[in-house]
Amino acid sequence: IVLFYITEVISKKNKNLGIFLVFIASLPLAILAGLRSLRIGTDVLVYIQPIFSLSTLVSSFSQLIQLKPDTEIGYLFLNFFISRFTSNFQLYLFILEYIIVLLFAFGLFKLRNNGSLTIGMLLFCFLLFNRSLNIARQFLAMSFVFFNLKHYFEKNNFKFIMSVIFASLFHSSSLLVLPIIYLAKVKNKILQYILYLILFLSVVYYSQILQVLVVNLGILPTKYLYFINNRVDIGINYPEEMIRAIFFLFLFGYGYFNTKFFVDSKHEMNMFMIFDFILLQLGTISLNANRIAWYFFTVYLILISRFFGQKTQSYRMISYLILYIILLLYWWWSFVYSNYGQTYPFEFFK
């Protein structure tokens, strides 16, 4: 965080040097991720390590695709590409995390005139870093979407749509971001609500829908059976409910009374917060809805950093103190007490 603070200060005077320092400041988190044990992150032994090991053994990319038809092609290509240079799994973990951290950091850097890079990365460390050690494919997709959020807020729809399509090469869930946010542009409200209802129901019950299309009707090929997830009832995640409720209510209220807070993207920012909150509630009965909510949750890195970027010095210290308490409580509750993703206690590789 100190390195990101130095980067933020210097970038105000020298943008090019600031860009270089983002690469340096992102290194410690990536190094920590690269030095971790295989037991840190539940998905490491499920698919991260097996796919990379397989990539080091195959002689061609097409062979890898044939062996892992259930995995997105972008993620397979990244594994195959890295495996041409090294078979060291720890180095692979470092590269993977470095890409994720860099894209989040540069996503915030591009919006630095309206926020704080330091606060944004502080939020990343407390809210997202532990998760990135676990669900690697989705975090690669999330980082690409986040990096290009500026295009959406500036209404550059073509670039944003292309970036989401590219992100889907690493995790197909990112594609659902597009219909969710662009349905907001439908002018007929009744039609809009009907389409949202259909969409959200499809998100919740997509496994059942796929099963009907593949097994019962035979419309889709059998390879789509790989994407069926039978995990439905995941219950209430109290830390997530707490952090979302606090951020949503506070920022929604603050933005209402401070018209300059959202700059020129008030509607877009509000929609991201609303979609995140709705999908989180649907996530109590569907893992898919919970996963998709994280794409929208990342907007809080921008909004909270923007809030601190606008605060006067007299209120800044107490605001920092409150934020630290909330983040520490969330981190302890999620990753220490609940042990989400098995990232605590941290273990180094041997």
pLDDT at 198 over 80: no
Most confident residue range from 66-80, 83-97, 146-160, 214-228: 83-97
pLDDT of residue 129: 92
pLDDT at 209: 63
pLDDT value of position 236: 58
The pairs formed by 240-246 with CB atoms below 8 angstroms and a separation of 24 or more are 240/280, 240/283, 240/334, 241/280, 242/329, 242/330, 242/333, 243/127, 243/326, 243/330, 244/276, 244/277, 244/280, 244/297, 246/326
CB 139 within 8 A of CB 100: yes
206: pLDDT confidence band, cut at 50, 70 and 90? low
d(C-alpha 131, C-alpha 172), whole Å: 18
Distance CA 282, CA 289 (A): 6
Query: What is the torsional sign of CA 257, 261, 265, 270?
Result: negative
Q: What pLDDT, on a 0 to 100 scale, did the predictor assign at position 150?
A: 84
- Structure token digits, residue 146: 């986040």
Q: What is the average pLDDT score of the chain?
A: 81
**Which tops the pLDDT comparison, 242 or 227?**
242
Q: What is the mean pLDDT of residues 119-141?
A: 91
pLDDT at residue 49 tops 60? yes
Position 79 scores a pLDDT of 94
Calculate mean pLDDT across residues 175-200: 75
To the nearest 10°, the Cα dihedral for 239, 245, 248, 250? Answer: -110
Tokens at 56, concatenated: 């080091």
pLDDT in tens, 251-265: 777 766 666 666 556
**Closest listed residue to residue 142, CA positions, set 276, 244, 307:** 276
Say which residue, 289 or 258, is predicted with more confidence.
289
Q: How far is CA 95 from the centre of its chain?
A: 17
What is the rounded CA–CA span in Å between residue 274 and residue 293? 10
Greatest mean pLDDT range, 11-20, 80-89, 145-154 = 80-89
Return d(Cα 208, Cα 228) in angstroms, integer: 8
pLDDT tens-digit readout, 54-67: 999 998 999 999 88
Of 350, 347, 279, nearest to 39 by C-alpha is: 347
Cα distance between residue 198 and residue 98, in whole Å: 38
Model pLDDT, residue 233: 46
Per-residue pLDDT band at 230 (split at 50, 70, 90): very low
Banded model confidence at residue 231, pLDDT cuts 50, 70, 90? very low
Which of the four pLDDT bands, split at 50, 70 and 90, describes residue 232? very low
